[in-house]
Chains A and B, each alone.
Chain A
Amino acid sequence: MGPGALAEILEHLPRFEHPDLLVGCGVPDDAGVYRLRPDLALVQTVDFFTPVVDDPYTFGQVAAANALSDIYAMGATPLTAMNLVAFPICVLGVSPLQEILRGGSDKVAEAGAVILGGHSIEDDEPKYGLAVTGIVHPDRIITNRGAKPGDWLVLTKPLGTGVLATALKGGLLDTETEHSLGEAMAALNAGAARAMQRVGVNACTDITGFGLLGHLRELAFNSRVDLEVDAAAVIYLPQARKLAGQGIIPAGTYRNRDALAPYVEVSGTVSAAEQDLLYDPQTSGGLLLAVPETRRESLLAALRQEGISRPGVIGRVLGSGTGKIVIRGV
């Protein structure tokens, strides 16, 4: 669901207040956090969606990496997961579902967590995802509200999964690009999370359905700052800019743009294709980190050590503000 509709619905729901509710619906973040003891808090998240790639095993991996990502984005460690399955078992048979679940299971194992069980229903359209639980020390929670003026913004995965998945649906992707799309989405954010915990960052969020600008807007608004994004520093998946220029753009991109337009200003020349990609809904996108100037280089070094070959320094926190974002072009 787009950020506009979701905000409207949540606005009219009663808010829970509890002394141990550390992060909840009141200030939207990646996952909810509940304090169990002074030194231990529970982190919970859930996410599921329809297939974004044709290969069922890869889809399972992507869905799990995506669900786990919310735990990593809070600075927490995933412990357990539950499968959520909707599947037309009479139409497609058992074997694609087995492959989906095997993909999910392998990713959860790679994350060092365990699957406890799950729930399945019959549905015309396949859907898969997981509810994931993790733990964190309450003092070590990394939210999207801690960004400080002068912080640098670092993105750990390239953008463009929405555009490429749309192209894939239309049979417009070559095998090589399809492979790099699957690989990018199936990659865990575990290494990026380790790097940010080792070095220390002021804020973190993961980039998913609201697109880079949608999640930056949440981070900027919750941190009470304004941001700038350097369009030329953002890294895209291969073919993404070309396909976006040819109008291969999912409806979610436009939903995100409509909801965010009042907060975004373009300065200089940024091509229409790139502007669209900045709003492009991401599946299992990277972590977006706000890091102080003094720790920027050590963060980049730590990310490279964790195997993230091209971390992008994509922008900067300008100063205290109301959550505005300036996109700077060439």
Chain B
Amino acid sequence: MEKQTDTVDVRGLTCPQPVILTRQALEQTRQDRITVVADSETARDNIMKMARSLSCGVEVDRRGSDFYISITKPEDFSTALEPQENLLFLVASDSLGRGSEDLGRLLMKNLFYTMSEQGGLGKVIIFVNSGVKLACTGSPALDFLFELQQDGAEIFACGTCLDYFKLKDQLSVGQVTNMYTILDYLQKVPRVIYL
């Protein structure tokens, strides 16, 4: 019976159906490997991208006008599908690292840019001290923070810090918070990353 779920034929289907059917097959099969038969380069490329986003191994074999795509699950496949557990970023400065303030600010922007690409789900970001500037008008990281928030990240800025820098009316993304909430998160979230 299970042999039947091993091969998925997506020939003749247009995007996004080949990707959706392949993903379903990967999630449902108990085999370590499935083969997908596709008849367009678009379907082939999209299926490969989807498989790689789930850390699967991919090999393609061309037979005539069809592509036989062999997808191998990684050992921890079931965890790749589950939402990650919460991760807290405590951002205590608007500049990343020591050495050059300007470089640090560029690095901080790049950090949130890269983070926004990973997705926001399961992430909590708390800004304290000069870190609050990152969530205020004119911040180079603002667009990425918006994107993270829309994608499910929770974003907070320390109210005392906003007052100190006279930025309370400049906060553009996230909620104002206080030390009770911050401490609560620090103790509650299993993994905290200090920046």
Is B47 engaged at the interface, CB distance under 8 Å to the other chain? Answer: yes
Q: Are A251 and B117 closer than 8 Å at their CB atoms?
A: no
CB contact between A245 and one of B47, B53, B113, B143 (< 8 Å): that residue: B53
CB atoms of B151 and A239 under 8 A apart: yes
Report how many residues on chain A are interfacial, defined by Cβ distance under 8 Å. Answer: 30
Cβ-based interface call for A121 (8 A): no
Residues of A contacting B110 in the complex (Cβ-Cβ under 8 angstroms): 232, 330
Q: Is the CB of A254 within 8 A of B45?
A: yes
CB-based contact A238/B147 at 8 Å: yes
State in angstroms the CA–CA spacing of A51 and B34 once bound together: 34
Do A271 and B16 touch (CB < 8 A)? no
Residues on B with beta carbons closer than 8 Å to the beta carbon of A254? 41-42, 45
Do A272 and B49 contact each other (CB < 8 Å), given the known contacts A232-B109, A251-B42, A254-B42?
yes
B interface bracket (residues with beta carbon within 8 Å of A) = 20 to 34
B117–A172 touching, CB < 8 Å: no
Contacts of A245 in B (CB 8 A): 49, 53, 117
Partner of B119, one of A170, A172, A242, A272: A242
Question: Which A residues are in CB contact (< 8 Å) with B114?
Answer: 330
Question: Which B residues are in CB contact (< 8 Å) with A247?
Answer: 16, 19, 45-51, 53
Is A235 in contact with B143, judged by CB distance below 8 angstroms? yes
Interface residue A310 (Cβ < 8 Å from any Cβ of B): yes
B90-130 contacts to A (CB < 8 Å): 109-110, 113-114, 116-117, 119
Check if B16 sits within 8 Å of A167, measured CB to CB.
yes
Binding site for A on B (CB under 8 A): 14-17, 19-20, 40-42, 45-51, 53, 109-110, 113-114, 116-117, 119, 143, 146-147, 150-151
A residues neighboring B (CB under 8 Å): 166-167, 169-170, 172, 176, 180, 232, 235-236, 238-239, 241-242, 244-251, 254, 271-274, 310, 312, 330
